[in-house]
Amino acid sequence: MSSRVCKNCGGKDIDVDQARGDAVCMGCGSVLEDNIIVSEVMFVENSGGGSSAVGQFVSSDASGKVPSMGTGFHTSLGKESRAQTLQNGKRQINHLGHQLQLNQHCLDTAFNFFKMAVSKHLTRGRKMLHVVAACLYLVCRTEGTPHMLLDLSDLLQVNVYVLGRTFLLLARELCINAPAIGKGVTAPREKWCHLTI
């Protein structure tokens, strides 16, 4: 619904569809506007679970040329998205790592694991916090810190089995040998290690 009035029939029932970029009178069916330029970015989900931007790229320069939506647009959008993912991942790794009182070496190693996971597309379809927690736990296991997956589960309020599946997937796909918990650790053996993915 809009506050516009149809020029043809005087109707006030105007349907403005931002995705299509048009305004249509619901009374007489007249297209009042098309190719409406909007300032916000909208995304739609496709059948494969991915998302894509809706609309048409409009150049900000004064030449008036509208570049095509070819491979260059999607490539730059992908690079920008990847950089944003890495930035968010690093921020969350630092936040969670400080709560676990991990040193900077451990945080840097966890971020390297996260970058590897992003490059192998292991973050797709998974919550970022789960992947971040799995990367931190990989570091805890490889560096021999006294942390358990249950500690991360408690911090994030996420089921330990969900984090365990993500951890096992990352360890397998990134070919990282995560040693078992040592005998010096007084924590009970973690139950999730028998999970299958």
Q: Structurally, how many domains does the chain consist of?
A: 2
Residue 23 within any structural domain of the chain? yes
Residue 68 within any structural domain of the chain? no
- The verdict on 15 and 92 lying in the same domain is no
- The verdict on 163 and 80 lying in the same domain is yes
Mean pLDDT of the chain: 75
Q: Which of 107, 98, 103, 96 shows the shortest CA–CA distance to 155?
A: 96
Each residue of 81-98: pLDDT tens digit? 788 888 888 999 999 989
Question: What CATH number does residue 165 fall under?
Answer: 1.10.472.10
- The verdict on 88 and 158 lying in the same domain is yes
Q: Which residues contact 105 (CB under 8 A, 6 or more apart)?
A: 143
Whether the pTM exceeds 0.85: the reply is no
Each residue of 55-77: pLDDT tens digit? 555 555 544 444 444 444 444 44
Print the domain residue range for 114. 76-194
- The verdict on 84 and 139 lying in the same domain is yes
What pLDDT, on a 0 to 100 scale, did the predictor assign at position 64?
46
Q: What is the mean pLDDT of residues 1-10?
A: 74
CB 66 within 8 A of CB 106: no
Q: How many residues does the chain have?
A: 197
Residue 47 within any structural domain of the chain? no
> Cα 153 from chain centroid?
20
Q: What is the mean pLDDT of residues 39-66?
A: 61
Of the candidate ranges 11-15, 24-28, 32-36, 191-195, the one whose mean pLDDT is the lowest: 191-195
Q: Which of 161, 82, 171, 174 shows the shortest CA–CA distance to 128?
A: 82
What pLDDT, on a 0 to 100 scale, did the predictor assign at position 114?
92
> Cα 167 from chain centroid?
18
